[in-house]
Structure 1
Amino acid sequence: MANAEHFANIMVERFIEAVNRGVDLVPVVADSTSTAKIAPFIEAFPDRLVNVGIAEQALVGTAAGLALGGKVAVTCNAAPFLISRANEQVKVDVCYNNTNVKLFGLNSGASYGPLASTHHSIDDISVMRGFGNIEIYAPASPKQCRQIIDYAIEKQGPVYIRMDGKPLPEIFSDSYQFEPGRVDVIAEGEEIALIGMGSVMHEVAEAAATLNASGVSAKAICLSSIRPCDTDELARQLTGIRFAVTVEEHNVNGGVGAMVAEVIAEFDTGTRLKRLGIHDGAYALAGDRQSMRAYHGIDAGSVVDTALNLLREK
């Protein structure tokens, strides 16, 4: 992919820039230096990294302690282990106690491909939405990733950032400016709305372009700001749209599909919803990403087929 960038590289770049401008930032890893691609930071600031070993509960507890000591603590490890193995520490040490910790869930979704369910993170958004007092983001492009990280570093309080594990190209214009809570519309349309989160927005954008080229008026909406989310604006974008399709590399329960369903019901937009993601009660297919996405119906071609089937039913 032309000009594609890996989010972990962007993360480390922003950490280095933050320390250079005077931010007292300390990364904490759980023997995850390669996953975090943190080597350039270690080279620049060899005394700033804390490695707790393969001990995710200690990772989060240590980060909370550093934050209580006045540091901007950032955890950098794989999303499935951060969310599952350190669940209680995330809930209590970070969220409940409102510590200034930034949780980076690396290689989220099914980024680990053939390593299968032990390494897939398809429930992290649903888990984090169940916790209070933490902002939640899932960047979809390099530009958005940079801006979300810069915002999170300056934000006082807990933040979770869901980071994809594959290089991704840009989908936003040069003028794009991230705002917490904003509903980003990347293609206008009147017949059907396609709504995605994070890296799967690239499938959504391709599907919307295909539909629009074929004469179907398709709106594409990016929900990378999960909490906060401007639900009033989301409802406004869906009002008058008869059909909506949500697409996520996440279980269909508790993620973007659930968020959109809640808005449709609470604001009575009259929109019929189809949720695409990892099937209810299922795990993500172990295999390369495109095969997995096609199997679960979340690749661009499947999204187009789903949209056309909905429109035929009207």
Structure 2
Amino acid sequence: MTTTSIPPHPASAAPRSMRAELAPVLAAAVAADPGLITVGADGRALFGQVIERDPRRYVDVGIAEANLVGVAAGLARAGLRPVAAAMAPFLVRRAYEQIRLDVCVPGLPVVLLGVGGGLGYGPLGPTHHATDDITLMSAMPGMEVYCPADAADAVRVVRTVLADTSGPAYVRLSARPDPVLPPAASGGDPREPRLLRDGDDVLVLATGRCVAEALDAADGLAADGVAAAVASVTALHPFPAAAVRELVGSRPLVVTAAESLPQGGLGPCTADALGRRGPALISLHTDHRYPPVAAHQDLLRFYGVDGQSIRSAVLSHRNRKTREA
């Protein structure tokens, strides 16, 4: 478990795109490994550099996500290592049966990259939102599920899953550039939580885009006299329960923040890890309310998983405990 204590993150750093950062990484991996092959569904942003170097290492199935997964599974059975990418809402929902039966049941080493998971496509609306991707993919047999916190974390995760051929993996990628987080957010093993900021009063566990929101909340809570620790949890399935328990330690309050539905997500998994005798736990997550047409940041606020919502949850709990004392 990485437990590096660091200063507040630099808010002035320009946001970075996961797709832009991953494109050269994937191209280099394909060049280095003759068994690696990429598969896309009418989307080339991730694989453009692969195509430039060697178009034979890229298969485009068109707008047909079920086909995408079936082709990837066939390539895996032929001894290749496929990396398949598509927009998350369509990859997860349209190809759910194929992912389960063609890839997960036989345990094939297929890497699935879901672009725009969560609320990343913002004003395109609920047809393009995928807050259910973590829930659905965590229910798959043998599937590893990752939700990187920023572009550097996404690079670390993809390199990790490419090196592991034991089974399938799903990686949620953002659709737009994300805030740049401290180096500790992408250091060490992505299967373990990383402590980004220390504090004794509360631990905020966050995943994906909510990690930046948690750091913002911690900055605000410091002004309120609350010492908030922040940790990033990138691996959601299998869940690093023992490492989370160790990280929580003796802190009296844990808050989880995730841009996803609760089932199979960060909040319930943390609750299971801590058990009934654990500290007070507040779980912030999305729900099934119909969203407004709004930008990504506004949607995080609508569902109550932005920095201000995290800060408010901590202060409300603190005030309630003060009144009860």
- Fold match, TM over 0.5? yes
Q: 1:240 maps to what in 2?
A: 250
In the alignment, the residues of structure 2 paired with residue 188 and residue 174 of structure 1 have an alpha-carbon distance, to the nearest angstrom, of 12
- 1:184-216 Cα offsets, whole Å, 9 max, x none, are 111111111111111111001111122124320
Q: 2:284 maps to what in 1?
A: 276
* Kept after mapping to 2: 8 A contact 1:67/1:101: yes
**3-state DSSP class of the match of 1:210?**
helix
Q: 1:132 maps to what in 2?
A: 141
Note closer, same or farther for the CA distance 1:162–1:253 as it changes in structure 2 (3 Å cut): same
* Kept after mapping to 1: 8 A contact 2:198/2:229: yes
Aligned length: 309
**3-state DSSP class of the match of 2:23?**
helix
Aligned counterparts, 1:55-70, within 5 A: 55-70=64-79
* Kept after mapping to 1: 8 A contact 2:217/2:307: yes
* Kept after mapping to 2: 8 A contact 1:261/1:273: yes
Q: 1:286 maps to what in 2?
A: 293
- 1:159-197 Cα offsets, whole Å, 9 max, x none, are 110111121233232795331421111111111111111
Note closer, same or farther for the CA distance 1:234–1:134 as it changes in structure 2 (3 Å cut): same
Q: 1:192 maps to what in 2?
A: 202
In the alignment, the residues of structure 1 paired with residue 290 and residue 96 of structure 2 have an alpha-carbon distance, to the nearest angstrom, of 20
Note closer, same or farther for the CA distance 1:231–1:23 as it changes in structure 2 (3 Å cut): farther
In the alignment, the residues of structure 1 paired with residue 185 and residue 191 of structure 2 have an alpha-carbon distance, to the nearest angstrom, of 18
In the alignment, the residues of structure 2 paired with residue 307 and residue 122 of structure 1 have an alpha-carbon distance, to the nearest angstrom, of 24
Note closer, same or farther for the CA distance 1:176–1:307 as it changes in structure 2 (3 Å cut): same
Aligned counterparts, 1:138-149, within 5 A: 138-149=147-158
**3-state DSSP class of the match of 1:251?**
coil
Q: 1:105 maps to what in 2?
A: 114
Residue identity matched to 1:30: A
* Kept after mapping to 2: 8 A contact 1:141/1:168: yes
In the alignment, the residues of structure 2 paired with residue 252 and residue 38 of structure 1 have an alpha-carbon distance, to the nearest angstrom, of 32
Give the one of 96, 99, 113 matched to 1:87.
Answer: 96
* Kept after mapping to 1: 8 A contact 2:36/2:82: yes
Residue identity matched to 1:31: D
Residue identity matched to 2:170: Y
Percent of aligned positions with the same letter in both sequences? 30
* Kept after mapping to 2: 8 A contact 1:239/1:270: no
RMSD of Structure 2 on Structure 1 (CA):
1.8
* Kept after mapping to 2: 8 A contact 1:15/1:25: no
Q: 1:260 maps to what in 2?
A: 270
What TM-score do the two structures reach when normalised by structure 2?
0.90
Query: Is it true that 1:71 corresponds to 2:84 in the alignment?
Result: no
Which protein, 1 or 2, shows the higher relative CO under an 8 Å CA cutoff with sep ≥ 6?
2
